[in-house]
Homo-oligomer: A and B are copies of this chain.
Amino acid sequence: MGCVKNAADINQCQNAAMDNILPRVRIVLSHTSHPGNIGAAARAMMVMGLADLCLINPKKYPDREATDRASGALGVLDNAKVVTNISDALADCSYAVACTARARDLTHTVFDARSAAAKLITEAASGPVALVFGNERIGLTNEEVLACDAVAHIPVNPKYSSLNVAAAVQVFCYELRMAAGQVQIPASNSDAFEKATHAQVEGLLQHIGETAVAIGYLDPANPRNFMPRMQRLFSRARLEREEIDLLRGMLRAAQRRG
């Protein structure tokens, strides 16, 4: 059914776009220390129309303080998925953005919150995407940042940059809602090429490493920077599923000869 162009219909289309796209954006909170921040993040998400919360090793959860600060956003809080590592948090996602306080990472694309939101909404049209927030004191680990496709930061006062993690979630979810309000969902997904998930890319990387060792190219005792460079290349390349199949077919053939 198409969208007609009078004001009321346009609003309805926009609401439909938001209702469909925003739930595809997962908020991942890694190693959160204060349960109050988990509750406040759930509330920040729900008030902007997001629903998918994932917690990596929360220090205290479930917890009374999380429930109190969620203030009724229990649908989001109670459905939060708890996992133990970043790979599980991103397994079914085709695109992920790491939120960092500063651009400490020199190899990723760096977005501000507004452009990150626009990019995530675009990517969400073809499947789940994620926005990852680190621990209150130390932020994200290098491993967690590397598992993401880009980094994003919220511009802050350089003289006092102590942005609360739930407040950061609020700003990003607000920007996501603003960005979702500007798009209309295409009637059908004309993109014939299915994007690979993070789990599929990880499978490929592991296969490359194993093959490189098996064929005598990579010395496990002295791996140099081979694997980080491969990870960087293939996360930048935004692989499609069929490309993964082709590359892994070739790796299997190399291994048989190895």
Q: In this assembly, does A73 line the interface, its C-beta being within 8 Å of a C-beta of chain B?
A: yes
- The answer, among B192, B229, B236, for a CB contact under 8 Å with A238, is B236
A31 to B126, CA, bound (A): 46
- The answer, among B43, B162, B188, for a CB contact under 8 Å with A106, is B188
Query: Which of chain B's residues have a CB closer than 8 A to the CB of A157?
Result: 46-49, 177
Chain A residues 161-193 with CB under 8 Å of chain B are 161-164, 166-167, 170-171, 174, 177-178, 181, 183, 185-190, 192-193
Q: Given A170-B171, A242-B229, A254-B257, do A178 and B114 touch, yes or no (CB 8 Å)?
A: yes
Which stretch of A53-61, A91-99, A127-135, A245-253 is in the interface?
A245-253
Residue among A15, A49, A111, A170 with the most chain B CB within 10 A?
A: A170
Seen from chain A, the residues whose Cβ lies within 8 Å of a Cβ on chain B are 15, 40, 43-44, 46-49, 71-73, 102-103, 106-114, 153-164, 166-167, 170-171, 174, 177-178, 181, 183, 185-190, 192-193, 208, 211-212, 215-218, 226, 229-230, 233-234, 236-240, 242-243, 246, 249-250, 252-254, 256-258
